[in-house]
């Protein structure tokens, strides 16, 4: 399993100065950390399944909140951003199905690293663009 170091935890530089988004992103990193921890303890059955369920559920809720926010501010990148969200939901669903079918082999280091990197890259690029738009719009009005 990946080491539990700063590389896999929330970093202040990931903050976007949009409290709703920042608190959700911190929570997502922490839930992903719980998946890491459950795998590390070799709790292949319920603990990993439960941690993945919590991560998937919260991710869907966060994406819905973020997409509502985009609609509220008439964000022009909504469609593109939504597609990125849908992609991660599909990946999380596929992982959950694999855990249900073949738990011990379902999650490996590469899968967890991929999820973490996806999340960080998405926050730094797509969510950062949205935050910039929100800040610009709030200084306009
Ligand atoms: Fe997003
Ligand atoms: Fe986000």
Cα separation, 136 vs 141, whole angstroms: 9
**How is the chain split into domains, by residue range?**
19-140
Who surrounds ion ligand 1 at CB < 5 A?
Answer: 66, 127
- The whole-number average pLDDT for the span 41-70 is 91
Q: How far is the CA of 3 from the centre of ligand 2 (A)?
A: 24
Closest listed ligand to the CA of 16: 2
Domain 19-140: give its CATH architecture.
Answer: Up-down Bundle (1.20)
Q: What is the pLDDT of residue 108?
A: 80
Question: 2 by DSSP, 3-state: which?
Answer: coil
**Ligand index nearest the alpha carbon of residue 126:** 1
Residue with tokens 């909140």: 65
Give me ligand 2 centre to Cα 136, in Å: 18
With 0.85 as the threshold, say if the pTM is over it.
Answer: yes
Judged by its nearest atom, the ligand closest to the C-alpha of residue 86 is 1
Whether 134 shows a pLDDT value over 80: the answer reads: yes
Give the pLDDT of residue 19: 94
Express each pLDDT in 9-23 by its tens digit.
Answer: 888 889 999 999 999
Neighbouring residues of 119: CB distance < 8 A, sequence distance ≥ 6: 25, 28, 29, 32, 88
Expressed in angstroms and rounded, the spacing between residue 111 Cα and the centre of ligand 2 is 20
């Amino acid at each position: 399993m990946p080491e539990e170091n700063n590389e896999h935890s929330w970093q202040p530089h990931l903050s976007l100065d949009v409290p709703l988004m920042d608190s959700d992103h911190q929570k997502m990193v922490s839930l992903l950390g719980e998946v890491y921890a459950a795998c590390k303890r070799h709790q292949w059955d319920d603990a990993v399944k439960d941690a993945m369920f919590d991560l998937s559920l919260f991710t869907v809720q966060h994406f819905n909140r973020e997409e509502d926010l985009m609609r509220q501010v008439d964000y022009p990148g909504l469609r593109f951003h939504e597609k990125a969200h849908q992609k991660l939901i599909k990946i999380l669903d596929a992982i959950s199905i694999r855990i249900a079918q073949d738990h011990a082999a379902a999650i490996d280091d590469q899968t967890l690293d991929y999820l973490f990197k996806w999340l960080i890259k998405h926050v730094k690029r797509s969510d950062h663009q949205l935050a910039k738009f929100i800040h610009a719009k709030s200084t306009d009005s």
